Amino acid sequence: MAEATHITPIAADRVEPGRLRYYDLVMAAFVAILLLSNVLGAGKVAQVRLPGIGDWPFGAGILFFPISYIIGDVLTEVYGYARARRVIWVGFAATLFMAGMAWVVVALPPAPDWRNQAAYEVVFGQVPRIVFASMCAFWAGEFVNSYVLARMKVLTEGRHLWMRTIGSTIAGQGIDSLIFYPLAFWGAEGWTPHLVVVVLFTQWALKVGWEVLLTPLTYWVVGALKRAEGLDVYDRGTDFTPFRARV
């Protein structure tokens, strides 16, 4: 990644679009991780043995999905809320298309000599309630995450990046979990209210923990991108409505 000589503090609405060299690549990374974590991670429950605790089951997607939140932090910190908002909408649309495509492909009648339909349905079949909950939680959580980080950056005058990334993740992942687990599992077979609450707080804590552990990596990526782009964006005077995709 080529480095610029100076980093210029600049208001978000003053950034010239042609000046951004890596924005589209960060967007592509965000969408790719979002889709892959939903396809490969969401359908598997893994298990690890923790010392003094024993076997502990967890959703495999927890290993990679939080990376999309870290990239969301990087987008807002480096490119500003409006450009992060655009990426969130692109990710939302891509996930919606993926869910629709999965439903159509699974529903297609299999050829008589193709014996893998049952396995295919297990891997790619999606419960509409869970898809709806996931989409709502992603949309709300990502926008809360981006909004909080952008506001905190202005209030702290760009200092204490760790405070902004962790604080925004606590808020964003909290909203994500509060929406997803009740919508997806409250009253579902095998899910007691107590279990929903326990899993909700466990997953929220794990996601925030991931953010804390990866803070040094976030610092490195943010610093490298700011130097490469030669700017540091502040959301002063930004329209924070989530209901638009145009920058």
Per-residue pLDDT reduced to its tens digit, 12-48: 888 887 889 999 999 999 999 888 877 776 556 677 7
Q: In angstroms, how far is the first alpha carbon of the chain from the final one?
A: 25
Planar angle of CA 172, 174, 176, nearest 5 degrees: 70
pLDDT, mean of residues 1-6: 57
**Closest C-alpha to 87, from 140, 30, 38:** 30
Query: How far, in whole angstroms, is CA 244 from its chain's centroid?
Result: 18
As to burial, measured by CB atoms within 10 angstroms (0-12 exposed, 13-18 middle, 19+ buried), residue 109 is exposed
pLDDT, mean of residues 133-138: 92
Longest dimension (CA), the chain: 64
Global pTM value = 0.89
> Is pLDDT at 228 greater than 90 in this prediction?
yes
Residues of the chain with pLDDT > 70: what percent? 93
- pLDDT score at 171: 96
Rg of the chain (C-alpha set) = 20
Distance CA 24, CA 155 (A): 28
On whether the CB atoms of residues 36 and 136 are closer than 8 A, the answer is no
**Closest C-alpha to 199, from 59, 30, 23:** 59
**Higher pLDDT among residues 116 and 52, named by residue:** 116
CB-based contacts of 20, cutoff 8 Å, min separation 6 = 79, 83, 229
> Is pLDDT at 61 greater than 80 in this prediction?
no
CB-based contacts of 100, cutoff 8 Å, min separation 6 = none
Q: Supply φ then ψ for residue 2, to 5 degrees.
A: -65, 145
